[in-house]
Structure 1
Amino acid sequence: MQRVQGPGIRDWNFPRGVASVALMVGFAAEHDVPTARMLRGTGLTEQQLRDPDAQIDAHTELTVIRNLVRARPDLPALGIEVGRRYRITTFGIFGFACVSSPTLGEAIRFALRYLDLSFTFCLPVAEWGEAEFVAWVHDESVPADVRQFLIERDVTAMHQVMSDLLGTHLPLTRAEFHFSAPSYADRIRAVTVVRPRFDMPHNLFAIDSVMLEQPLPQANEHTWAMCLAQCRDLVHRRRARTGIAAEVRARLVPRGGTDGFTAPPGIDTVARDLNMSTRTLRRHLDAAGTSYRALLDEVRRALAEEMLTATPLSVSDVAIRLGYAEASTFIYAFKRWTGGTPAAYRRERAAQR
């Protein structure tokens, strides 16, 4: 039976750390591109690149990527060569959580759930089959001028990280790309090993499903649980909203906490409360890189986790308080947010106390 899991984010426009920018600046320096040129138009300083707590928006990293692509268009397989630099240690606590996961499959599930702790622009959707695991790598929203670079970088980085987790080069069963075969196709094959196919309808790579159940060499249940909690807290802090998104989010959060919470207001009601038309509100939220539905999901998820952890309410009662007509709809949404059921989440949190 096949099962599909998408990422926990709707697009690539999420806040991120500076480690990826620092990595690319270091790569550029090795190829005679000055740091000042790489940081042009970003407002970043070299000192900020050394700050592990520094946070930037995705467009800042995109500017650095454009600076690199424009500075060294003569370097073949640029995306591949940069992608090979991403190791599990590049990702901080996110990478440490992956390393501590019981199996490769669990690490992938976790990574998808907290993908906004990565540096990706291409969004993977995982499909578990009996014989083959397929990662569909979506690039539809990636800017065209850097799309091929980012497909190559992100796919190579994903493969490199999974190989790091296993402690050996991960064998692929398929590798497909929708761009035409480049002159350096042999360098792509050096990564994939299996012969890559080009001019295909989608970007994807696949592995034997047996690989997903392989125990990871550094798996540690206690460390994994600790890292999960830290990643969850980090994501919540990064997802803190500002501007119009914060105003909408504030109107979706119940004033009196979860007690007596009724269905959240619809977008038309929120728009009237903000003295604007629904169409204008949608436009403002889109410009802010979010939507009413995404903000509603954030609020519902936070409230659901609170109620499942801190109250004895049944799953059906939680669903009703969140505005769902049926518990099954809430359960489906919760699985989309977290990768697991509300009941499993409650058991996991109870076991951690």
Structure 2
Amino acid sequence: MSADRCLKGTGLTWAQLADTGAEVQAEQELQLIRNLVSTLGHISGLGIHVGLRYRLATYGVYGFAVLSCATLRSAVAMGSRYLELSYPFPDICSKVIGGTVETIIDDSRVPEDVRAFIVDRDCATIANIQRDLLNTTLPVFSVTLRRPAPSDVTPYEALFGMTPEFGAPSNRILKDASAYLDRPLPCASEEVARDCEAQCQAMLTRRQARTGLAGQLRDRLVAVPAQQPDMEALAEEFHMTSRTMRRRLAEEGTNFRQLQEEVREALADELLAGPLSVEQVAESLGYGEASNFIRAYRRWKGTTPKEFRNRVRESE
């Protein structure tokens, strides 16, 4: 597959890719993935093959922040806090439960035509990240995947050391980390981790400082978070087509889903500091299930709503 075919329709140029300060937008990455799938989709485990090319250094300052953590436990927390910088499509939640690392990949909002590729890729990149951190692989307890069983399961068996359960209700990986959670990591550096985290936080802050159409939409979504209209309704309200709105948001470096996430994240702590229950906060932010809100909050903050609320009350 030619390199130009990879970039077809993305709007990306070779000059942009050579610029270390340039940002690739989510819609551009999606188009590139569609190009890959349409041309090479016959290759078994294509997403896995691609994901195994990712290393921690691939993620820039985000990767170095994770790599510099003191232990695997702190690396899991760091990675979860700033996941938005590198994983814009599925909602990924990794957490430590006893001696186990549980990773759930919620692909419900990923476009169906690239869903299997993206989940496969992210499963492989997570495995590579853990290998970079530990210089070894974590034993896998169990793997369930929502995708149908492929004709060739060899790439999955090679990645996980077992055959996943396909056609399952969720994408869920359980790994035995009991021997590694609190063992010092080879590249641990408190100073580097602190500096890299500060840069990650600055990147998130810049990304969330919205102007133009994105700023107007963000203000509109903040006004009534529990009754957020969909893109079609907002486009009509702003006297444009949804296609025009999508294009203009892409030009401003964002998309509708990302704005919704930013609004919910911005309001979550304020609501949790009040008298509402976690279930009521979830409902106020437009979540149909409290579990979905808890998973999103852990991804944003690296902790749970209950743990945050306890800290607030202890400091009063």
Q: If the length of structure 1 is used for normalisation, what is the TM-score?
A: 0.67
Question: After superposition, where does 1:1-353 map in structure 2 within 5 Å?
Answer: 33-119=1-87, 121-210=89-178, 211-247=180-216, 249=218, 266=224, 280=237, 288-290=255-257, 294-297=261-264, 299=266, 325-326=274-275, 336=298, 337-339=300-302, 341=308
In 1, the alpha carbon distance for the partners of 2:258 and 2:21 equals 27
Pairwise CA RMSD: 3.6
CA contact (8 A) 2:218 2:263 kept: yes
- Listed one character per residue, the Cα deviations across residues 304-335 of structure 1 (whole Å, up to 9, x for unaligned) are 8xxxxxxxxxxxxxx6xx895349879x99x7
> 1:343 and 1:127, CA in 2 relative to 1: closer, same or farther beyond 3 A?
closer
CA contact (8 A) 1:177 1:204 kept: yes
Deviation at residue 234 of structure 1 after TM alignment: 1.2
Percent identity, aligned pairs only, is 34
- Listed one character per residue, the Cα deviations across residues 2-21 of structure 1 (whole Å, up to 9, x for unaligned) are xxxxxxxxxxxxxxxxxxxx
Aligned to 1:173, the other structure's residue is in SS state strand
Q: Which has the higher contact order (CA 8 A, sep 6+)?
A: 2
In 1, the alpha carbon distance for the partners of 2:90 and 2:272 equals 33
How many residue pairs align between the two structures? 276
Aligned residue number for residue 289 of structure 2: none
- Where structure 1 has 5 or more consecutive residues not aligned to the other structure, the ranges are 1-32, 253-263, 305-318, 346-353
Larger radius of gyration: 1
Deviation at residue 294 of structure 1 after TM alignment: 4.2
Tell which deviates more after alignment, 92-101 or 231-240.
Answer: 231-240
In 2, the alpha carbon distance for the partners of 1:45 and 1:63 equals 14
Tell which deviates more after alignment, 127-136 or 88-97.
Answer: 127-136
> 1:177 and 1:34, CA in 2 relative to 1: closer, same or farther beyond 3 A?
same
- Listed one character per residue, the Cα deviations across residues 209-260 of structure 1 (whole Å, up to 9, x for unaligned) are 41332321111111111111011001112233243431255689xxxxxxxx
Aligned to 1:213, the other structure's residue is in SS state coil
> 1:41 and 1:138, CA in 2 relative to 1: closer, same or farther beyond 3 A?
same
CA contact (8 A) 1:127 1:135 kept: yes
- Where structure 2 has 5 or more consecutive residues not aligned to the other structure, the ranges are 247-254, 282-292
Aligned to 2:188, the other structure's residue is in SS state coil
> 1:172 and 1:39, CA in 2 relative to 1: closer, same or farther beyond 3 A?
same
Deviation at residue 146 of structure 1 after TM alignment: 1.3
Aligned to 2:120, the other structure's residue is in SS state helix
- Listed one character per residue, the Cα deviations across residues 24-81 of structure 1 (whole Å, up to 9, x for unaligned) are xxxxxxxxx1111111111111121111111122111000001111112332221111
AA aligned to 1:339 is G
CA contact (8 A) 2:225 2:264 kept: no
